[in-house]
Structure 1
C-alpha cells in the first residue's frame, strides 16, 4: 500500500475545497444552459406546430358548437316531424274535402239543385247591456240607414249571439242565447241528433229534449237546426260541456260578455218570432 506523506496530504486537502466549488459552479452553469436550450427547443417546436394547431382549432370549435346546439337541433327535428305529420293529415282532409265537394256538385246537378242566395247582413254596435224584462240582453245602436226588424239573427265573429226582440227608431234589443227566455233548436254535429238549447241566465245554456237514444257527447259541436222554420240550419253555436252535476251545457262560441259589434242577418224567415225561439218573458234579477 502506498502511503502518502504528511505534506502531500495537507496539499491535497487544501486543493479539494476550490475544486469542489469550481465543480458546483460548473454544474450550475450546465443546468442553466440546459434550461435555455429546452426553452429554445419548446419555442421552435411551438412555431412549427402552430399552423397545425390553427388548422385543427376550427373543426374543434365547430364540434363544440354542434354539441352546444344539439338540444335545439333535436327540438327542431321533433318539430319538423310533427309538422310533416300535420301536413300529411291536412292533405288527407283536403283530398276528402275535394272529393266531397265534387260529389256534392254532381248530386246537385242531378237533383237540379237551386242554391240559396247569400243572406244579407248589417253591422251594428253594442252600446250597453239592456235592461227591460230580460236579464241577458244587449242594446244596439241602429242608424236610420239600417233597417232592422224583429226576429233577425245576431252573430259575432265566432258564432250565434241571439235574436232581435224589440226595434226602435235608433236602437234595437237583442235577446242573448243565455237568457232564460231563449229557446234555440240545435243539432248535434257528430250524431245529427236534435235538441233544444235553453237559456239559464248564467254563462252557459242547457240542453234539453234531445233525440231518444242519442246522448250529447262532451266536446261535440252544436249548430242551429232548421226545425220549425224558425232558424236557418248550420249556424255555429258552441260545444257540449257536461257539468259536475251531470247536466249537458253549452259552451258558447260567441263572446257574449265582450260584445262590441254584432252582425244582424236576414235569412228571410219572417218577421214574427215563433214561440219556440223566444218564450214569454220571465224577468229575473241579474246575477
Structure 2
C-alpha cells in the first residue's frame, strides 16, 4: 500500500510541474493578447472593448458606492470633530469679546463724562481721498511714490498718507492730477512721534532704509523692544495717535522702528486731511502774502486835537 502511494506521488510531481508551466505560458499568452488587442484600433476591437466597458461599468459603479459612502462618512466625522473644536474656540473668543465690550462701554462713558467736565473741544472732522500708487521712486537715495490724485481731487501739501496698517508718509508735492508722497523711510522725513506706553516724545527720522530711527530721546528712558510708536501731534503736522510702528531694536543708543506699513505691497494710499497747517509753503512770497492777509489791519493813528 505504501509502495502504491509513493508511486502515485512520483507520477503526480511531473504532472504538477507541467500544469504550472502550461499555466505560466497561458498567462503570458493572455497578457500578450491583451496588449495586442489594446494596441489594435480596428472596429471589431473597439466594439468589443466598448461592450466590455458597458458590461463592467454597472459592476464598478455598484462597487464604488460603498467606498464613496465610507469616504463621505469619514469626511463628515472629521468635519464634526473640527466643528466641535471650532465651536469651543468661538465660545472662548465670544466670552473674551464680551469682556472687552464691557470695558469699552465703561471707558466710553468715563470719557464722555471727562469731556463734559473739561469742556473738551473735539478735533475737527477729517476727510480723505483714496488714490492708487502709480509710480515707485524708492531707491538708494530717495523713498517716495507717485499717486493718481492732485489738486483737482483736493490734495495739498502736508496731508497724511495712510494705509490700512498705519502712517506711510506725507504729501510733499502736489500737481494737477498727481502728487508725490514722501515716505517715512526717506532721509528727508522727520515726524514728531511718541512711545505709546511711556509717552516719551522723539523725532522719527528716515535714513533710506526700512528701519527709521528715533532721535532726541532723553537718556535713561524705560522704552523697550515691542513698544508701539504713534504720532505725538507736536508741530501741527499730524494729529496725535496715528499708528507708526514698533520699536524693533535698541543698540548703543540707536533706537530703530519697524513701520506697520508693508512697503512691498503698497498699492493704494489714503490721503487724509485733518485740517492742520503745520507744514509751511515752499514759496516764501506766497507764505508772506498769506501771513499778511491773515494779520489784522493796522488801526488808524489818532488825530491831533
TM, length-normalised to structure 2 = 0.59
Residue 273 of structure 1, CA deviation: 4.3
Aligned to 1:228: 235
What is the distance in 1 between the residues matched to 2:204 and 2:154?
28
* 1:185 has 2:192 as partner: yes
Q: Deviations over 1:34-92 (max 9, x none)?
A: xxxxxxxxxxxxxxxxxxxxxxxxxxxxxxxxxxx999988877665554444333332
1:197 aligns to 2:197 (yes or no): no
- Aligned-pair Cα RMSD in Å: 3.3
1:117-155 CA-to-partner distances (Å, cap 9, x unmatched) read 320111222111137996100111226631221111111
Alignment gaps of 5+ in structure 1:
1-68, 276-287
Number of aligned pairs?
Answer: 210
Measure, in 2, the Cα distance between the counterparts of 1:164 and 1:100.
Answer: 35
In the alignment, is residue 123 of structure 1 matched against residue 130 of structure 2?
yes
Aligned to 2:255: 248
User: Partners in 1 of 2:95 and 2:138 — Cα distance?
Assistant: 52
Alignment of 1:51-130 (within 5 A): 82-130=89-137
2:159 paired residue among 152, 161, 165: 152
Larger Rg: 1
Question: Who is 2:48 aligned against?
Answer: none
CA-to-partner distance for each residue in 1:178-218, whole Å, 9 max, x for gaps? 11111111121111221221112111111222244423322
The match for 1:137 is 144
Question: If each structure's helix is expressed as a fraction of its own residues, which one has the higher value?
Answer: 2
Structure 1 residues 3-48: Cα deviation after superposition (integer angstroms, max 9, x where no partner) = xxxxxxxxxxxxxxxxxxxxxxxxxxxxxxxxxxxxxxxxxxxxxx
Q: Which has the higher contact order (CA 8 A, sep 6+)?
A: 1
**Structure 2 gaps, min length 5:** 1-75, 283-305
Counterpart for residue 59 of structure 1: none
